Structure 1
């Protein structure tokens, strides 16, 4: 006899709730439909469902996302880096208190080097035919960030090997929820023949019809809810083996419209806005921001970075700011609106000669107009740079730090944003000794500095 197992998967929604009503209703309908037909069906999310750029996620500390996953009827999820390293230790530790689904993640440990009480390293599901499906999951490896927050993260490939060794003799098929990215998924497919299906995330890749590597099927559904993935496993119930696999994607715009979806989408936004009405400061005058020339608001944040990180100097790009601040009451919502990024402060140790070359790069006339994607950036363009305790004697060749001529051999502490340490713009910063300040975001530093000043 044959059995058809249906697996629906989403990934990297990043709190783009404008696509959620249709996804939710589609998944609920499909789950009901398959259950009525007597076919096993599972709903999985592969991480980064929550992203603090959206006021609903920010205002509910991610718990609003959990409510949405509950309502859609998910069976299990894994966490992405947005859940793992943009919430404080206590926020993540309580995030899934009300979850009606399993949180599967094998390579995250708490302060006591134990699997957190809200997670399991794997889950074994059994269908009505007796077919046992083992589901394992691993998340992206960012040890410096996790350690700074109080968590411990083990290497995902090593942990995956441990988990598969534990369950491979107990199950008939293995599904991996992987928030690692396409390159690691391809490697895993080659090195782990026991895995039947890899559902991927993190690199926002799209596999319209899946991808077969050896006998492993890869599936991935892009980002922002543009797609919903569907994997079908055909099973020989007498032998309890998978005999065929198929993957496909459903595009969001092809899903049925939901009555009142625009109201729902706006309502989530307004709920978040209401939750973020805590007053921060009362400004006597507006504070402006300009992207292509010096302006006061980026300078205030740059000075705050310098002070917070106890640096010798600091720089940041004006494009981080989506807008300025108006005169009068400033709330948490206002600061979230102009600085929605999950970007942390960072201090980097550089020799004077290295620091000089890095600062010189920021004067490239093309940089302010560069469009930035990823790296936690939620703005549009880079914008011009502003500096604290960096001055020049007539040219960029004569640089002063804290009013003194730069010493090429001296070690300086540069305070800046963590996105500049990932190697995309300044390779020197990715290799240098550094310290991240977490869980504070740039908007938290701005709030702190504004309270000091006003």
Structure 2
């Protein structure tokens, strides 16, 4: 009987407060298993980085990836925070010099070739010649990957094809899935030779897994709260898995590692130091308000419309977490102000469509302005008042830049991508739109600030 030990992390999102404990635990467990002559694998399921974090932002995640290397990971797949919050060049740079494998079947170059830094699968062989096929895929954000220069394809079809391709060459098939629980259930139901699906993306917690058909599904929450641990007992004589089980290990309950607090603070301080570079020099102070218009919001609106070449804009006041100070403004200052991994989105609307959106804002603003929001890339506290610039409805007539617009007029509107996902404005999902990538909101403000003020 061969025993295979599998550890995993997922959706850490640069929450590195317990990283020292996680690293120490994984390295210790690997030593123990290897001394006992048993196979051990360590995987990460993506969204290890999050650009809301200073340490991550300072090198666009490259230093985070070094942490995985130092801990001894065997393989990873990517999440959307690696895939769509970085330019194509920055994503490739993440994995240029890593010791671990990147397993990813559904992200291709535009000509359908495999990125040089990733493989659709890997087959690992234990000391007693058990062959373990590992496949992986990430969530297909089609509207983002295309403009970034990638070709993302249907992950379920890709995994079905890959699992079939390696089926006769492997004894065990494991999937690294950054797809979410619903997709994992579909995989289990449609891929008969898949044995273990290590899941992520939807931050689900499955303390002892979930059996679907022949496969065991796992889920380890988010932010490094858990380490997943799965054990497979495989009978070489019978050519089958005799037992497979999983559990979650709570990182807060792991033994204290000497210097762990200093290590975490050092990462934060290093990131702050790297970002303390002047971007522009503001000639005045710009205040922020969450429930009203402000000098800062108006300045940002001009930056947004200039960047998008749009006629008008709307966005929420709660995106600003600090004011814009007078004097030298650094990349760190802008990151503190706008930490969100949010992009601008340009939408072509008719006059009737824009008028309906603005009327909806007027109707919902009292409720929306107080809403505490988590997710959609938003890293603030409350949504704040929805602000409109260069567009308004007066006496049931639409005005853009002071000019009355008819219902069939074509208008270029810029807003934040978080408002196009269907939660606030379901009607925006089907409109013609362009996500303005790869720059985040803070980058847009930096570009305009330099243009407006200079250094």
TM range (shorter): over 0.9
Partner Cα distance (1:158, 1:19) in 2: 36
What's the secondary structure of 2:381's corresponding residue? coil
Partner Cα distance (1:44, 1:172) in 2: 19
Partner Cα distance (2:390, 2:129) in 1: 68
Does the Cα contact within 8 Å between 1:348 and 1:413 map onto a contact in 2? yes
**Per-residue Cα deviation, 1:290-330 (whole angstroms, up to 9, x for no partner):** 11111111221122111211222111111111111222211
What does 1:71-110 correspond to in 2, within 5 Å?
Answer: 71-110=70-109
What does 1:50-89 correspond to in 2, within 5 Å?
Answer: 50-89=49-88
Q: CA deviation at 1:84?
A: 0.6
Match of 1:205 in 2: 204
Match of 1:329 in 2: 328
What does 1:367-446 correspond to in 2, within 5 Å?
Answer: 367-393=368-394, 397-446=396-445
Partner Cα distance (2:326, 2:280) in 1: 10
Does the Cα contact within 8 Å between 1:306 and 1:388 map onto a contact in 2? no
What is the root-mean-square deviation in Å for CA atoms of aligned residues?
1.2
Aligned residue pairs: how many?
A: 451
What does 1:210-359 correspond to in 2, within 5 Å?
Answer: 210-359=209-358
TM-score using structure 2 length? 0.97
Q: Does 1:185 align with 2:181?
A: no
Q: CA deviation at 1:452?
A: 2.5
Partner Cα distance (1:283, 1:33) in 2: 57
**Per-residue Cα deviation, 1:200-227 (whole angstroms, up to 9, x for no partner):** 1111111011000111000110100011
What does 1:99-138 correspond to in 2, within 5 Å?
Answer: 99-138=98-137
TM-score using structure 1 length? 0.97
**Per-residue Cα deviation, 1:223-278 (whole angstroms, up to 9, x for no partner):** 00011100110111223321111010011211111111111111111111111122
What does 1:153-168 correspond to in 2, within 5 Å?
Answer: 153-168=152-167
Partner Cα distance (2:220, 2:405) in 1: 50
Partner Cα distance (2:214, 2:318) in 1: 46
Partner Cα distance (1:339, 1:26) in 2: 35
Partner Cα distance (1:359, 1:177) in 2: 43
Partner Cα distance (2:337, 2:260) in 1: 26
Does the Cα contact within 8 Å between 1:299 and 1:387 map onto a contact in 2? no
Match of 2:367 in 1: 366
What's the secondary structure of 1:362's corresponding residue? helix
**Gap runs ≥5 in structure 1:** none
**Gap runs ≥5 in structure 2:** none
Partner Cα distance (2:323, 2:19) in 1: 30
Q: CA deviation at 1:392?
A: 4.4
What's the secondary structure of 1:128's corresponding residue? coil
Question: Which has the higher mean CA deviation after the structures are superposed, 414-423 or 352-361?
Answer: 352-361
Partner Cα distance (2:439, 2:189) in 1: 39
